Amino acid sequence: MAISTTKLRQIRESLGVSQETLVRGAHDLQLRTYVRIEQGKSAARHNTATQILQAVNALLREAEKPEMKLEDLELRLF
């Protein structure tokens, strides 16, 4: 059985960064929380999703790529 890859994981891997690197760019986000969200095991609170988006966009700016919107991450929110 293949493991499904979330959009968030695809984005992070396309940027060539580890989960730890992405989490360092987010304020008050625990690695364990991020990992569960990236694996699709947990839904994200809106403020957590916003922190992840800010970290992703910072990495995109560094890579001189266009920024994303929250919907682009395809996160499950609650």
Range of the domain at 20: 7-73
Yes or no: say if 46 and 53 are a contact pair by the CB < 8 Å rule: no
Q: How far is CA 35 from CA 38, 61, 66, in A?
A: 5, 23, 24
In a domain, 34, yes or no: yes
pLDDT < 50 stretches in the chain: 1-2
CA angle 59, 64, 65 (to 5 degrees): 80
Instruction: Please tell me the predicted confidence (pLDDT) of residue 4.
Output: 61
In a domain, 69, yes or no: yes
Domain count, the chain: 1
What CATH number has the domain bearing residue 30? 1.10.260
